[in-house]
Structure formats: structure tokens, C-alpha cells
């Protein structure tokens, strides 16, 4: 019996010594790799020619100085605003050409003199109206400035959208068959467009529209000349008023109305 009690005590003592408390910390092996044995590298660590390592606001950056407008060809070499708009091959350029000279400005189309360029007058992309010239950076027609939509014809500002003497462009006058100008196109005032031409007819533009002056009884030979207003006439042939059955005279001379 004594030996049995001694065995139980021995087993209990071994269990208490070998079992750790549940909340006891367990040490784990350090699995993190050691840092590389090399000096710390900034953004310029892998910078190679033709790129350059430049310092910007106390930090270093590897820049493509071949195309950087603010660091063109070298650190801190900024291309001049207004004279260039690109950096190519480490050189400041305007478009595909060199930087602009003293009197020119770099526009999208290249170097331009804004004082006398009709397509870039006073500013890049500012075009003068038709016929106007650029003088000291102002679009002038003689000594005047034309309004938007007007053209300079001679030394006068005209609206080529509505001027029958300068319809669509300077010097393009509408004829008697197209006496009005609408949106830069000659046409008949009442008919809108130009009078159509047909075989054997000469349509003319009259106040009431387009009429064949050779055959229209109310516009016979001229606009508004009615054969019915004259006693005994009931027919318009070749631009002349006749009585039905009388031989017509060739007043229109081949289809054209008399002058």
C-alpha cells in the first residue's frame, strides 16, 4: 500500500512539472530575414544616362531630361514659356522646329509673329475676318475693326451672309435671277434659292418669286407686266403679249426675255 501511494505522488509531481499554464507565453523562432547588407538607395539609385539624377525640393529624382520641359537637357533647365512648347532630344523646341526668336511666339502651328499674322493676330489662334489685315496685333479693315461675321471688302465691313453685292465673299454679286443673299447664297427673295433653269425657259427673280418672263402672262417680258391688263391680249409668247391665234413675234430671241 505504501508503494502504491508513492507511485501516485511521483506521477502527480511529474505532471505538474511538465505541463505549462495555458496563458504562459510561448517563444517562437525569429523567421524574419536579415536586412540586405547594402547602403540605403534613393530614387536615383538606378538612374543611368541619358537620364539624370536631379534634386527637387531636397529630394532626388531620376528624370528623363531628354523630354522634360522643366529639366530639358539638364537639371533645372526649364524651356521658356511662349517661345517653346516641347522638349525633344534634350533641346527646347517649338513644335518640330527650334525655339522661337525674339519677335515670335510659339503657337500650336509653330513660331508666329502675333503683330502681323492674320491667322494668329494678337494671340495664337485668333484669325482676322476675310479681307482684314493684322496690324500691331489688331485685325483692321482700313482703319476700322469689323464685327464678328463681317468681311472686309475694300475698306468697308460688310456682312457677306446678307449683302447681295458681296454674297458669300467679296465681289460676288447676285444677278437679277438671284437678287437676294441669304446665309451667303444668292436666291430669290420669296423663293429662297436661286431660280431653277429649264429647257426653253428663262426664270427670273421677281418680287412674287421666280417666273418665266418669256411665257408668264402676269410677268410677260418683265416682272409685273401683265398681258391681261391690256385690252384684247390673252397670251404671253416669247416675252410679248398677243391675242390667241396671232402669229407670235420672237421677242425673247431664242428664249431670252427682251432687255
Cβ burial, residue 171 (10 Å; 0-12/13-18/19+): exposed
Residue 193's pLDDT band (boundaries 50, 70, 90)? low
Q: Check residues 206 and 29 and name the one with the higher pLDDT.
A: 206
Q: Which three cell numbers stand for residue 72?
A: 530639358
Q: Is residue 196's pLDDT more than 70?
A: no
Question: Residue 115: CB partners within 8 Å, gap ≥ 6?
Answer: 103, 134, 135, 136, 137
Q: Tell me which residue has cell 446665309.
A: 183
Give the pLDDT confidence score for residue 75 in this predicted structure.
92
Q: What pLDDT does 21 receive?
A: 36
CA distances from 49 to 41, 44, 64, 174, 190 (A): 18, 12, 9, 69, 75
pLDDT > 90 fraction of the chain, expressed in percent and rounded: 34
Query: What is the pLDDT at residue 104?
Result: 96
Q: Where are the domains of the chain?
A: 48-103, 113-157, 159-194, 197-259
pLDDT in tens, 216-233: 888 888 888 888 876 668
pTM assigned to the model: 0.53
Q: Say what the pLDDT of residue 239 is.
A: 80
Best-predicted range by mean pLDDT (7-16, 162-171, 207-216, 249-258): 162-171
- Grid coordinates given for 227: 398681258
φ, ψ dihedrals at 151, nearest 5°: -115, 155
Predicted pLDDT of residue 220: 85
Q: What was the pLDDT predicted at 8?
A: 41
Predicted confidence at residue 15, as pLDDT, reads: 39
Who has greater pLDDT, 199 or 170?
170
Per-chain mean pLDDT for the chain = 75
CA distances from 120 to 85, 107, 123, 154 (A): 16, 8, 6, 21
Task: Give the pLDDT score at 106.
Answer: 96
Q: List, for residues 44-82, the tens digit of each pLDDT value.
A: 877 888 889 998 888 888 999 999 999 999 999 999 999
Query: Of all helices (H) and strands (E), which one includes residue 17?
Result: helix 2-18
Q: Which residues, including other chains, have CB under 8 Å from residue 143's CB and lie 6 or more apart?
A: 155
The beta strand positions in the chain, using DSSP E, are 52-56, 59-63, 86-88, 91-94, 97-98, 105-107, 110-112, 133-135, 138-140, 151-153, 156-158, 180-182, 185-187, 203-206, 209-212, 235-237, 240-242
Mean of the pLDDT values across residues 149-153? 91
* Res 199: pLDDT: 42
Distance CA 147, CA 162 (A): 14
Q: Which residue has the higher pLDDT, 62 or 240?
A: 62
pLDDT tier at 248, thresholds 50, 70, 90: low
CA-to-CA dists, residue 62 to 29, 70, 100, 207, angstroms: 41, 13, 29, 78
Amino acid at each position: 500500500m505504501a508503494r502504491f501511494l508513492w507511485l501516485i505522488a511521483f506521477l502527480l509531481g511529474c505532471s505538474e512539472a511538465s505541463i505549462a499554464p495555458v496563458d504562459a507565453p510561448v517563444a517562437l523562432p525569429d523567421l524574419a530575414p536579415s536586412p540586405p547588407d547594402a547602403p540605403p538607395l534613393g530614387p536615383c539609385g538606378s538612374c543611368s544616362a541619358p537620364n539624370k539624377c536631379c534634386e527637387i525640393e531636397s529630394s532626388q529624382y531620376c528624370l528623363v531630361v531628354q523630354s522634360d520641359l522643366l529639366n530639358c537637357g539638364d537639371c533645372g533647365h526649364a524651356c521658356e514659356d511662349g517661345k517653346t512648347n516641347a522638349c525633344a532630344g534634350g533641346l527646347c523646341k517649338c513644335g518640330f522646329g527650334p525655339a522661337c526668336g525674339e519677335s515670335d511666339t510659339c503657337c500650336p502651328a509653330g513660331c508666329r509673329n502675333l503683330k502681323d499674322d492674320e491667322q494668329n493676330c494678337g494671340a495664337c489662334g485668333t484669325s482676322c475676318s476675310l479681307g482684314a489685315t493684322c496690324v500691331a496685333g489688331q485685325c483692321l479693315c482700313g482703319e476700322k475693326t469689323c464685327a464678328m461675321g463681317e468681311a472686309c471688302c475694300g475698306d468697308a465691313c460688310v456682312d457677306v451672309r446678307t449683302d447681295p453685292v458681296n454674297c458669300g465673299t467679296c465681289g460676288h454679286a447676285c444677278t437679277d435671277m438671284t437678287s437676294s443673299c441669304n446665309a451667303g447664297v444668292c436666291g430669290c427673295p420669296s423663293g429662297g434659292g436661286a431660280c431653277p433653269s429649264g429647257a426653253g425657259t428663262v426664270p427670273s427673280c421677281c418680287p412674287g418669286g421666280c417666273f418665266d418672263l418669256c411665257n408668264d402672262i402676269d410677268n410677260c417680258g418683265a416682272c409685273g407686266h401683265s398681258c391681261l391688263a391690256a385690252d384684247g391680249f390673252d397670251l404671253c409668247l416669247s416675252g410679248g403679249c398677243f391675242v390667241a391665234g396671232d402669229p407670235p413675234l420672237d421677242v425673247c430671241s431664242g428664249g431670252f426675255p427682251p432687255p
